[in-house]
Amino acid sequence: VNPVSSAKIPIAPAANQNAATNSDAPPRSRRLDDLPPNSQLESSRVPFGARVLVIDSEGAAGDDLKAVLSEMGLIVDIVATTLAADALVAAHKFDAVVLDLRAPDCDMRAFVGKVRADARIADIPVLFLSSKPTSRDVVDAFATGGDDFLPKPFRTTELAARIFGLLRRASLARSAAGG
């Protein structure tokens, strides 16, 4: 059996097995944490139960995105405005933020600026999304403090891979800093 292909197949949990410690965690569907510590797939480990804030005003698309990311082991909160996001960030700890650069009535750059200015949450990885982005949009997103940028439309698997990469790098940075 090829460990690469078998590790990518969603596996249903055993009836008495639930490795999640967060009660909000979705039912387990991925078993990548069962890999040996020095596996070639070490970089594929997903932080099961990581909480992701998505700011996107597209209701149905956001619901689909939440379903896919939840199936992959993430806890996903979706809001339509930066005002709602401010309230959630004040009340909960998030491991990553995904936001639509062009959401109406939202200043995403200002929101990310506030996140980066708050020492308590400044290290949260931020991924910008945008439909029909210009080169200026991409440069501004990174200059504002974004960690990644993905143009719409996108494959949900690519978005998930980017989120997992951001979460992994943030975890490595915290470990290197002693936290």
Does the model's pTM come out above 0.85?
no
Question: Percentage of residues in the chain with pLDDT exceeding 70?
Answer: 72
Cβ–Cβ contacts within 10 Å for residue 117, how many? 10
What is the pLDDT, as a whole number, of residue 175? Answer: 80
Single-letter code of the amino acid located at 95: D
Closest to 128 measured CA to CA, from 111, 120, 50: 111
Query: How buried is residue 65: exposed, middle or buried, by Cβ count under 10 Å (0-12/13-18/19+)?
Result: buried
For the segment 82-130, what is each residue's pLDDT rounded down to a tens digit? 899 999 999 999 999 999 887 777 888 889 999 999 988 899 999 999 8
Among 173, 172, 157, CA closest to 68: 157
- Phi/psi of residue 145, nearest 5 degrees: 125, 10
Distance (Å, whole) CA 86 – CA 81: 9
Residue 81 has pLDDT above 80, yes or no: yes
List the one residue out of 11, 93, 104, 16 whose CA is nearest residue 50: 93
- For helices 135-144 and 108-117, the axis angle rounded to 10 degrees is 20
Between 10 and 37, name the one with better pLDDT. Answer: 37
